[in-house]
Amino acid sequence: MDLGSLQFADGARKGKKKRVGRGIGSGYGSSAGRGTKGQLSRAGHKYRPWYEGGQMPIQRRLPKRGFTNIFRTEYQVVNVGDLHHLEETEITVDVLSQHGLVDGDGDPVKILGDGEAPENLTVKAHAFSKSAEDKITAAGGSVERL
């Protein structure tokens, strides 16, 4: 073994970087390896991800259906079963927000009836499902709409 037989490990050295636009004799001159003309040969070209080559795009081919009510009230929902984890006897939107059950962004809160209700709770929220209201009152609690 001598110094002349030493070699770098595989992958230790990357090949030479392709230097484009450095004259016709370099092999990557004139059009710099991009071909000729067209969108892809231009500087700053971009294809939008939904672009289909000029074909009528799928979002325009599909029919529009339905209706979006812009006045709809979006509730943040909490199930009655999730209230077991709370120590407080009076559950308000602030308490739910502190425990991470709802966001504190001001959206109204609705209590749904999935799970068993803890005993003797006073729950204050913007809306209640019928089953949630029945379960809370059956467990000796009370509901209060805000």
Q: What is the pLDDT of residue 55?
A: 94
Is residue 9 one of the residues assigned to a domain? Answer: no
Alpha-carbon distance values, 70 to 17, 74, 105, 116, 123 (Å):
55, 10, 19, 34, 29
Domain total in the chain: 2
Domain that holds residue 111: 76-145
Q: What is the mean pLDDT of residues 65-86?
A: 92
For residue 106, the domain's CATH number is 3.100.10.10
66, 87, 122 — which closes off a domain? 66
Instruction: Flag whether 5 is in a domain.
Output: no
- The answer to whether residue 12 is domain-embedded is no
Reply yes or no on whether the pLDDT at 20 is more than 80. Answer: yes
101 falls within a domain: yes
- Overall pTM surpassing 0.75 (yes/no): no
Query: Is the domain of 80 the same as that of 46?
Result: no
pLDDT band for 64, please (50, 70, 90 cuts).
very high
Our CA dihedral for 66, 72, 74, 78, rounded to 10 degrees, sits at -100
Is there a domain that residue 3 lies in? no
Based on the fold, state whether residues 85 and 138 are members of the same structural domain.
Answer: yes
Flag whether pLDDT at 61 surpasses 90: yes
What was the pLDDT predicted at 77?
Answer: 94
Domain presence at residue 1: no
Indicate whether 14 belongs to any domain.
no
Which of 35, 66, 97 marks a domain boundary? 66
Model confidence over 34-60: pLDDT tens digits? 888 988 888 988 888 888 988 999 999
CA–CA dist 115, 90 (Å, integer): 19
- Give 77-116 pLDDT, tens digit per residue: 999 999 888 888 899 999 999 999 999 888 999 999 999 9
